[in-house]
Every structure is written in C-alpha cells, then in structure tokens.
Structure 1
Amino acid sequence: MAGTMRDAKRAESSRRILEAARAEFAEAGFEAATIRSIAGRAGVTAGLVMQHYGSKEALFRSAARLPADDRDTASEHVRDVLDARLGDLPPETLALLRSMLTVPEAADAIRAHLDERIDNLTASLGGEDARARATVAVTGILGLTIARQLLRLRAFDEVSREAIVDAAERGLGAVGGGE
C-alpha cells in the first residue's frame, strides 16, 4: 500500500511539473525558461524536477509531446505553431534557419527537430495516412516560415497573419481528418 501511495504522489508531482513546464515554455520560450522557474510554478524543488526528467531538454521534449491519437489537440497545435512561425522568431531560430543549407550542424539540428515534430504529430493524429499528413503539415509550416522570415515575401505584409493562418489551416486542413 505504501508503494501505491508513493507512486500516486510521484505521478501527481510529474503531472504538476509537466503542466508548469508547458506554461513556462509557452510564456518564456525554451531559452528563457529555467528549471527553478518551472519548479516554483509546480510547487516543487528544482531537484525534484531534475529527478523526474533529468534535464531541461528532456523536460521540454515531454512537455512538447502531443497526446497520442488526439486529432483535436493536433489540429489546435498545428494552428498554434503556424501562428507562432509567422510572428517574430527568436534570434537563435532565425540563425538556424539561415544556416541550415550551408552549415551541416544547423541542418542536422533542424532535421532532428522536424523529424521529432513529424513523429509527435503522427502519433497524435492516428490513422493509416497519419505520417503523410504529419509530414505535409510540418514541411508546409517550414515553407511558410522560410517565406515569411527569410524571403520576406510581400504577401505577408499585405495579408493579415490571421488570414494566412486560416488559409494555411484549410490548406493543410485535413491534418486532423483522414483514415
């Protein structure tokens, strides 16, 4: 019985830490979020956060993972990512994007990130063609990001961000559908 109580307490701590991490990463971004700020938000010690997740990177990966086979959450996530990528990006993200075609390490970093995003979205979508839909969504967002952030196409100045997100969502639209 004591083990069961301990397991329940551990699971509750983990849930609170993940919830706090999602909020902190959303507000501050990966670079500015700290283990201490996440721990404070969760009402636990920084040591407990590290005990549960091992590193800030591992915590971020857990916090960013979409729930499995949850199409509504996946569609909302795609919309949120579209909106974020069409806004101002952190300097380190822009540096990676600018360098990805000429610097192998930058290409490796982008590739690893996008492969992880495709895997995550695939699991969340479910269905026979989930991997294809996830691939189209992630690479479509990459294309929009490059067109807006690096090429600075005039259309992004002439059309509202919300209109572009709505159109992209319709274009990628069936991300949440399928089977």
Structure 2
Amino acid sequence: MVSRASGPPSAVTAQQILEAAQIEFGEHGLEGSTVRGVAQRAGIDPSLVIRHYGSKNDLFTIAIRLPGDSTEHDVAEHLFDVVDVRLGELPAESRALVRSMLTAPEATAALGDFLNERTANLAHGGGEDAGLRAAPTASSILGLTIARRFLKLDALGEISEEQIEKTVRPWITAAIGDGPPAERRRARQTARCSP
C-alpha cells in the first residue's frame, strides 16, 4: 500500500528511499530502474522520491556512494578484509555501482574516483613503485567482484574460506609485496572467536 505524506520530508523516509533505490539500481542498473519502481519498493508515493532526491539521476549519484575504508596499518590485512566482503554478499550500494559502471557516466566516474582513492591509499608510503602494485591489486579485486557476483564464474561460486586462504591471500600478498601474513591472520581470527 502506498502512503501519501504531507508536510516536511522526514529523515526516515529519505533513508527508506535510499535503501530501496540501492536495491533497485543493484538489480536493474540506472537505465532499467524507474522512480516508480523505487517508490513501490519503498512503499511510498513516487512524488516523495522526487521531493527528497530531485531526480532519478540525483538519487543514483547518492545511492552509489561507497562508504570510506577505515585507516589500516597493515595493508595486507586490510585487503584480505576487502576481499572477504567482495566475495561475500555485496552491499546494495556496491551492487548498484558495479551494475551501472559501464552504462551510466555517474557510476563510471564514481567507481573511477573510488578506485583512484583506494589505489592512492594502498600506495601511500610504499616506495617508488607502490602505485604500480596498488592499481592492479585494486582493479583485480573489482574483477573478482564482477566475476563472482555478476558473471557467476563457476570457480568462484562456492569458494571456501580454506580456498581463499590458500589461493587468494597469497596472490594479494605477492601483489603488494608484503610478507606472509598467515600467522597474523590466524591469530586475528582466533582473537575474534574468543569471548
């Protein structure tokens, strides 16, 4: 049932619209989504979508913003966490961004900015060729995301934690030029599981 509201826009409705839009854009991309579809998913009148966000393109620009990463001292550990997220169920904003990156200039620019920022963060203080190591690493993680979540690559379909530990983590470690992190990772996992 669609509700109609009068009065000032509420923060709850704005968040409700944003979450519905991320799912809608994630499933259909920018071109395949409509304001009406977002409103229906949010259970509101389409006029509220326009009232809160202006247009479908404006809403898309906000919906694809990715949260920033926290500062990490151990680059390898940070990248392992990123891979864990990318090989798991994608957050709605990531799904919307990746689905639309080749068809919507806003998504292309947003993803380019995001990868440039991640590459710069990974390269920071890493020496002369740090940028050359960081760029392929960041873009390869994007490739893993696309292959697993959108192309449904069989080899990545049912990847286990053991397989990730055995194949993906050494690849990341070699790419960034860090030492073997297996014991640090196991210690961290043990600490997470401890009461």
Q: How does 1:142-161 map onto structure 2 within 5 Å?
A: 142-161=142-161
For normalisation by structure 2, the TM-score amounts to: 0.52
Letter aligned with residue 148 of structure 1: R
Unmatched 5+ stretches in structure 2: 1-17, 20-66, 180-195
1:65 to 67, 71, 75: 71
Map 1:97-108 → 2, pairs under 5 A: 97-108=98-109
* Paired residues of 1:96 and 1:106 also in contact (CA < 8 A): yes
Aligned to 1:92: 93
- TM-score scaled by length of structure 1: 0.57
CA–CA separation in structure 2 for the residues paired with 1:104 and 1:163 = 36
Deviation of 1:120 after TM superposition, in Å, equals 0.3
Amino acid at match of 1:160: S
- Structure 1 equivalent of residue 120 of structure 2: 119
| Bigger Rg over Cα | 2
Whole-angstrom CA distance in 2 between matches of 1:116 and 1:100: 17
Mapped partners of 2:161, 2:100: distance in 1: 25
Structure with bigger helix share is: 1
Aligned to 1:74: 75
Amino acid corresponding to residue 136 of structure 1 in structure 2? P
User: Aligned residue for 1:56?
Assistant: none
1:88 Cα shift?
0.5
1:62-94 per-position Cα deviation (integer Å, ceiling 9, x unaligned): x62344xxxxx0011111111110000112210
Q: What is the root-mean-square deviation of aligned Cα atoms in Å?
A: 2.4
Q: Which runs of 5+ in 1 are unaligned?
A: 1-30, 33-59, 68-72
Could you list the runs of 4 or more consecutive aligned residues of structure 1 that deviate by over 3 angstroms after TM superposition?
A: none
Q: Contact 1:79/1:165 (CA < 8 Å) preserved in 2?
A: no
How high is the sequence identity, in percent, across the aligned residues? 46
Q: How many residues align?
A: 114
